[in-house]
């Protein structure tokens, strides 16, 4: 799956196989007669050390898919496995721990704590879990995202792109097995967006991280190893080694098919 051959990094745990597996995932919101089926039986695998993009029209279930995969939301049916653990078998406390220790989440709107510096934001998830992160580790993680010289800055003193990189550092701090990102470039200008995408790609190539990213931007999706297309809560297509052009073409095809079905 790696695009560029890089020397093996021995600090990366050599997990093989699937980081995340979804089996017939279903999520229904509300109750009758006002039910909304956000996911209607999605099965997919996110291989370890790979970068997957998820695309689809607004309301097609992308955020729901990501939140169920990350243990932020409970599915109505089907199964989610992270590193072989069936999330449905976990109680609330165990699910909270898994979310904290094994999963990183990056939001469109950064979700940083405004009163805390970059380094304090990065350390926060570890502190909340009762651990005392070493200054060296926090500084290493900020270095990974290129913000060593911004460690003491608060979010308001950082650009949008820098804030999102702090959020990525915060996600990395707990050494997660998988990083989920929901439209991570959606609030950024194109230059800052490019930096964030290049960073995510580099984390997969150079550290063997696993990234699953929702986006509606074909250029963003072209950074992934594979694109999954979602429509009305169902997987409707897949594209390997995507380019911005091939993604845009596939989206247009899917929209055409959708229109024809509707008429
Ligand atoms: P996307 O991220 O692709 O835009 P979502 O996963 O946010 O789609 O939403 C999928 C569908 O589920 C939409 O019809 C949306 O209105 C509905 N939905 C999402 N979250 C909720 C919720 N908390 N309560 C009720 N309906 C929801
Ligand atoms: Mg969404």
Taking a 5 Å cut-off on Cβ, the residues next to ion ligand 2 are: 62-63
pLDDT in tens, 74-110: 999 999 999 999 999 999 999 999 999 999 999 999 9
High-pLDDT (> 90) share of the chain, %:
88
Rounded CA separation 53/221 (Å) = 5
CA of 56 to the centre of ligand 2 (A): 9
Strands 226-231 and 234-240: antiparallel
Q: What is the pTM for the complete model shown?
A: 0.92
Instruction: Using the predicted structure, report yes or no on whether residue 7 has a pLDDT greater than 70.
Output: no
High-pLDDT (> 70) share of the chain, %:
94
Q: 171, 205 in Cβ contact below 8 A? A: no
Instruction: Using the predicted structure, report yes or no on whether residue 238 has a pLDDT greater than 90.
Output: yes
Tell me what pLDDT residue 1 has.
43
| Ligand nearest to the CA of residue 60, numbered in listed order | 1
**Order of all β-strands in the sheet with 234-240:** 103-106, 178-182, 211-214, 51-55, 226-231, 234-240
Query: In CATH, which superfamily holds the domain spanning 16-262?
Result: P-loop containing nucleotide triphosphate hydrolases (3.40.50.300)
pLDDT in tens, 9-54: 434 444 468 999 999 999 999 998 999 999 999 999 999 999 999 9
Mean pLDDT, the chain, integer: 93
Rounded CA separation 186/53 (Å) = 14
Residue 29 near ligand 1, beta carbon < 6 Å:
yes
Rounded CA separation 28/75 (Å) = 8
Read out DSSP for the chain? Answer: --SS-----TTS----SEEEEEEEEEEEES-TTS-EEEEEEEEEEEETT-EEEEE--TTSSHHHHHHHHTTSS--SEEEEEETTEEGGG--HHHHHHHHHHHEEEE-TT----TTS-HHHHHHHHHHHTT----HHHHHHHHHHTT-GGGTT--GGGS-HHHHHHHHHHHHHTT--SEEEEESTTTTS-HHHHHHHHHHHHHHHHHH---EEEE-S-HHHHTTSSEEEEEETTEEEEEEES--HHHHHHHHHHHHHHHHHHH-
Mean pLDDT, residues 137-146: 97
Q: How many other β-carbons are positioned within 10 Å of the β-carbon of residue 78?
A: 17
Alpha carbon nearest to ligand 1 atom 25, residue: 29
Rounded CA separation 71/78 (Å) = 13
Rounded CA separation 61/48 (Å) = 23
CA of 80 to the centre of ligand 1 (A): 19
Tell me what pLDDT residue 16 has.
60
Tell me what pLDDT residue 5 has.
45
Residue 30 near ligand 1, beta carbon < 6 Å:
yes
pLDDT in tens, 158-194: 999 999 999 999 999 999 999 999 999 999 999 999 9
Tell me what pLDDT residue 255 has.
85
Residue 58 near ligand 1, beta carbon < 6 Å:
yes
Tell me what pLDDT residue 261 has.
80
């Amino acid at each position: 799956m790696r695009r560029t051959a890089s020397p093996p990094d021995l600090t990366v745990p050599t997990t093989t196989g699937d980081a995340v597996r979804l089996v017939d995932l279903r999520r229904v919101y509300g109750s009758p007669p006002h039910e909304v089926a956000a996911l209607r039986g999605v099965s997919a695998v996110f291989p370890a050390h790979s970068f997957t993009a998820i695309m689809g029209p607004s309301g097609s279930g992308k955020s729901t898919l990501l939140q169920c995969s990350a243990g932020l939301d409970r599915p109505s049916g089907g199964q989610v496995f992270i590193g072989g653990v069936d999330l449905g078998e976990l109680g609330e406390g165990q699910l909270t721990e898994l979310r904290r220790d094994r999963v990183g989440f990056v939001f469109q709107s950064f979700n940083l704590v405004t009163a805390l510096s970059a380094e304090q934001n990065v350390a926060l998830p570890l502190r909340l879990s009762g651990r005392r992160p070493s200054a060296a580790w926090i500084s290493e993680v900020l270095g990974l995202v290129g913000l060593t010289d911004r460690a003491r800055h608060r979010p308001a003193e950082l650009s949008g792109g820098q804030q999102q990189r702090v959020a990525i550092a915060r996600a990395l701090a707990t050494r997660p097995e998988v990083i989920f990102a929901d439209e991570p470039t959606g609030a950024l200008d194109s230059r800052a967006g490019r930096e964030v995408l290049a960073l995510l790609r580099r984390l997969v190539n150079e550290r063997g991280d696993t990234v699953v990213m929702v986006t509606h931007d074909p250029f963003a999706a072209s950074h992934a190893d594979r694109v999954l297309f979602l429509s009305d809560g169902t997987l409707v297509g897949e594209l390997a080694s995507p380019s911005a052009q091939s993604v845009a073409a596939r989206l247009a095809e899917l929209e055409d098919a959708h229109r024809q079905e509707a008429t």
